[in-house]
Amino acid sequence: MKDHSSLLITVSGRDRPGVSARLLSTLSVFPVTLADLEQVVIGGRLVLAALLVVDESVAPGVSHERVFEEVRNAVEKTSIDLDMDVEFSYGNERVGAASAEQLHVTILADPLRPGALGAIASCVARAGANIDRIERLASYPVTSIELDISGADQERLRGDLAMEAATQSIDVALQPSGLHRRAKHLIVMDVDSTLIQGEVIELLAAHAGCAEEVARVTEEAMRGDLDFEESLRRRVALLKGLDASALDAVRDELVLTPGARTLIRTLKRLGYECAIVSGGFTQITDALVERLDIDYSAANTLEVIDGKLTGGLVGPVVDRKGKALALERFAAEAGVPLNQTVAIGDGANDLDMLRTAGLGVAFNAKPVVRQQADTSVSVPYLDTIVFLLGVSREEVEAADRNA
């Protein structure tokens, strides 16, 4: 015996203007309400699913079986007129707001292969979760797919997804759903090898003729033989005597990471505030603040006397701890809670900042940073960060057209 508590109608076929309106108009004459509705268009084909229940307030005591039979007959006629396929299913429960936490799984890949997406879906299934919706956010410059899921053990799933992402050579982010995702955010970015390509101190060292010496100190720091402040002071000391005009030359040599302008422009249009925090130098970052309309910044300051670099620094050093403190300070000034901050960086010096933020993103980062960050992005396009925030490529391009 059929359960006539609800009726699920699924219509599919070639998309064209007026299809949805015609189908919904067909339903409008019956004493039913929409318990759930979903529509997607992919490859020029439309799929529309409508879950109906009988409206007892309009037709009390009416036979559900009879109402749904009349609905079926009407929808079948309409679908024939529209040259669409239609399927009916009885007794489907409404998919409402589940008590389990709702999560977003965002995938970035270039290219995205079916096997990789299947492997991620298997991770979700093993975690006892259900995929409620799949949406494409972008096909350029990478393919980005977002899964809305429910019922997962978040920590277990996060670990499984990280391992599968490494196996499949894709990037995967797991984030809670909720209104906070649409609220005002603060985005804090590292500068060297994140917002810009390359390292400023290496560009300065090239002008000073000490590139090899600076590179050796940098290598010691990367091996963990030196902490950041010691390595920075040793490298800056090698710049002693460099004419301050070299700073102007380096500013002219800066190359932004692909997608940097698009990222910041899009975030500003969304009402987000943007900050940069750097172990580099204010003489360089101040120009980036003006050039890109950055809201907040923190960096070290090279000491300059009589037009020459002294080899020293002015004021406290912005190191690993200092970057995290700067993020907290910027968030307080912007009136943004920490769980609505996003930090982006590539080196171990960024780890405290990435952990402090609501979402820490390792951008083309060292392995130790990728392992400890909330998520990683391994493609060379900084604007792919917007996909992690649920913004689609179509929305970015529409905002550009309407600017």
Give the amino acid at 42. I
Residue ranges in the chain whose pLDDT is less than 50: 1, 94-99
- pTM of this structure: 0.82
d(CA 355, CA 344): 11
- 190 noted as active-site residue: yes
The residues, ordered by sequence, that sit 6+ positions from 28 with a Cβ below 8 Å of its Cβ are none
Please give the pLDDT value at position 134: 86
Choose the catalytic residue: 15, 160, 171, 192. Answer: 192
Tracing tokens 């000034």 back to the chain, one arrives at: 333
Looking at residue 94, what is its pLDDT?
46
Q: Which long-range contacts (CB under 8 A, 24 or more apart) does 298-303 make?
A: 298/322, 298/323, 298/326, 298/329, 298/330, 299/191, 300/232, 302/236, 302/239, 302/247
Neighbours of 114 (CB within 10 A): 7
Q: In the prediction, which pLDDT does 97 show?
A: 43
Return the structure tokens found at 133.
């919706």
pLDDT at 58: 74
**Tokens 């759930």 -> residue:** 36
Q: What is the pLDDT of residue 96?
A: 44
- DSSP β-ladder status, 102-109 and 171-176: antiparallel
d(CA 218, CA 190): 17
| Residue among 196, 242, 246, 193 nearest 222 (CA) | 193
- pLDDT for position 3: 67
Mapped onto helix, strand or coil, the DSSP state of residue 61 is: coil
Q: Beta-strand (E) ranges in 31-109?
A: 32-42, 45-54, 85-90, 102-109
Helices (H), 83-176: 114-126, 154-168
Out of 160, 171, 190, 350, which one is annotated catalytic? 190
* Cα–Cα distance, 44 to 41 (Å, whole number): 6
**Could you give the C-alpha distances from 341 to 146, 271, 330, 384, 395, in angstroms and in order?**
20, 13, 10, 17, 21
